[in-house]
Chains A and B, each alone.
Chain A
Amino acid sequence: MSVPAPDPTRLPHRAALAVFLFLIALLPLAVPSRYYLNVMIFAGIHVLLTVGLNLVMGYAGQVSLGHAGFYGLGAYASGVLTVKYGVNPWVAMAAALGLSLLVGLAIGIPSLHLQGYYLGMATLGFGIILHILFVELLPFTGGPSGLVGIPEISLLGVKLNTDTRYYYLVWVVVGAVLLFAFHLVDSRVGRALRAIQGDETAAALMGINTWLAKVRIFVTAAAFASVAGSLYAHYVTFLSPDSFGFGFSIDLIVMVIVGGTRSIWGSVLGAVLLTILPEYLRGLKDYDILVYGAVVILVVMFVPSGIAGAIEQRLQRWRLKLATRARVAADA
């Protein structure tokens, strides 16, 4: 412990990411049918959402109960622009991203002055208001019965209209976002965030503009969610407000916590596992909801730092043991 070890979070994360993405790239060759790719497409979209939400919740320590609203904003902006105005999907996606950044700023700037549950309430309220707008702005959004006929997306003249092609699109985006997120938490902003999470008053005294750091992270998460929404829109090619309600915001929080807050890998794990879990539980008929609730309770009770937290602790202990053994060998 006396020897200052190089920051253990840095290089291994990049290496792990490379291995992970390599395996992800091989997956379509290994699965027996496109059903698995469908599940993994949604899992990837959920990863984009949970990584952003984890930055807000785990790293900046802010409660956000309306994340599904930004997801919906991205999806509907993409959907409405392509269906009603014939905009090219990529342009629409960029426009959706711009809109979400603006809305993220408009919501974040005033409400990130709020603390704890009050911020939770504000974000919850914004999420619900956005959902109501999706329902009520009928001429644009198609209302509660949904927006039909969203075009598929093309890349260099290739239509991304098969599950395999879309799978790669989604996971390339996921890879880029993960890289960005790892970079962010290691950067100055990331250190400022960790300071805020430790003690916001102390961080402020150290000269960190805590509010600005929180706004930045909030807007970044909104941007990730917007991209996730656009990807959802062009895959399902149909949008219904039901996908972007309060319930889904809660689902996302559960994914983040079960995976492990303050760990990017935790969000990946949480999103993938909890997207797959209901598929496992299908055989249980109506009892699946009970099992799902019980799993959530048990994980949080017995693995309070989340799955990634537990793995990290295990790894750390193992590394420590190796180091001690090495030192003992050197002493002898």
Chain B
Amino acid sequence: MTFTDQLLQFVLSGVMVGSIYALIALGFTMVFNATEAINFAQGEFVMLGGMSAVAFYGARVPLPLACLLAVLLVTAVGLLFERFTLAPLKRVSVMNLIIITIGGSIFLKGSAMLTWGKDAASLPSFSGDTPIRVLGATLLPQAIWILGTSLVVVAAVRLFFDHAAVGKAMRAVAANRFAATLMGIDVKLMVACSFALSAAVGAVAGIIITPVALTAFDRGTILGLKGFSAAILGGIGSGPGAVLGGLLLGVLEAMGAGFVSSGYKDAIAFLLLILMLLVRPQGLCGARGSRKA
């Protein structure tokens, strides 16, 4: 393999993994904008998406329908999660919100383990397993699905926030909660919406990656961590930042593994991330002077 072939292969791998990180980061962003908290259960939504799709498919539901049901189920879980943990609380510090979501992630992970067991599971690829040659590199058809779906989801989220009334209301809450209340926006409802939406996006990420990367009850933690890093890298609260951060993190990892050392690839990615933060403390696309925390 020539150098350029290898480079291309690393970029393809990085973009595929990175678009998954981007979707997860987008979920973090939505909840952050509505609540100013990081939802540490975001990774569990991803896991639940994959696991429930596998469960539906295992119950002989056709694959497209199984995926749809899984997204709906996880959206419902997201809503319930918000309803029973965050919604009843009146005044709560951001740190406490975080701990509640950590407790929630432990709970969801445990529930998944008890419901579906500890074995890893997989879904069939949506369009077979015959690799596609791209110049000197190769790509699985599922990677095209991952890229395509991510693009569609990102575009849809963008349109929703720019044009739909609910989306605009959610943005208003993110910009200024108090002013939004004065304008007659139901802030509580918007927070619930943000959880539902972030759960749905997380579920989509979890489903489309399962055919290539498997899924298991404990898969959520690491994916959540990567998504969180991507969201921070992009600038927490910024939608385009989340997408950019995700792709960048994915490519950094693949390059680190390919050119430097596969053992240190995560260390390289995190080191670069920290250096970037020191140079640009608000993230790539974060608002300057942002004191949000």
Contacts and interface: CB of A to CB of B under 8 A. Distances in A.
Direct A–B touching, Cβ under 8 Å: yes
Among A135, A261, A295, A304, the one with the most B-chain Cβ atoms within 10 Å of its Cβ is: A304
B281 interface: yes
Contacts of A136: 263-264, 267
A266 to B, nearest CB: 13
B257 interface: no
Nearest to B283: A118
Given A113-B278, A118-B277, A300-B99, 4 more contacts: A116-B292, A125-B271, A128-B266, A129-B270
A118 B282 contact: yes
A293 B101 CA distance: 10
A247 interface: yes
A20 interface: no
A133 interface: yes
B225 interface: yes
Interface residues of B, number: 46
A122 B275 CA distance: 9
A110 B111 CA distance: 41
A291 B16 CA distance: 37
B31 to A, nearest CB: 12
Which 9 pairs across A and B sit closest by C-beta, in order of nearness?
A116-B293, A293-B107, A293-B106, A296-B103, A289-B110, A297-B103, A125-B270, A121-B232, A132-B267
Nearest to A107: B274
Interface of B: 38, 40, 85, 88-89, 92-93, 95-96, 99-100, 102-111, 113-114, 221, 225, 228-229, 232, 236, 263-264, 266-267, 270-271, 273-274, 277-278, 281-283, 290-293
A211 interface: no
A111 B93 CA distance: 23
Contact of A117 (B38, B99, B110): B38
Interface in A224-257: 246-247, 250, 253-254, 257
A29 interface: no
B120 to A, nearest CB: 18
Contacts of A129: 267, 270-271
A121 B110 contact: no
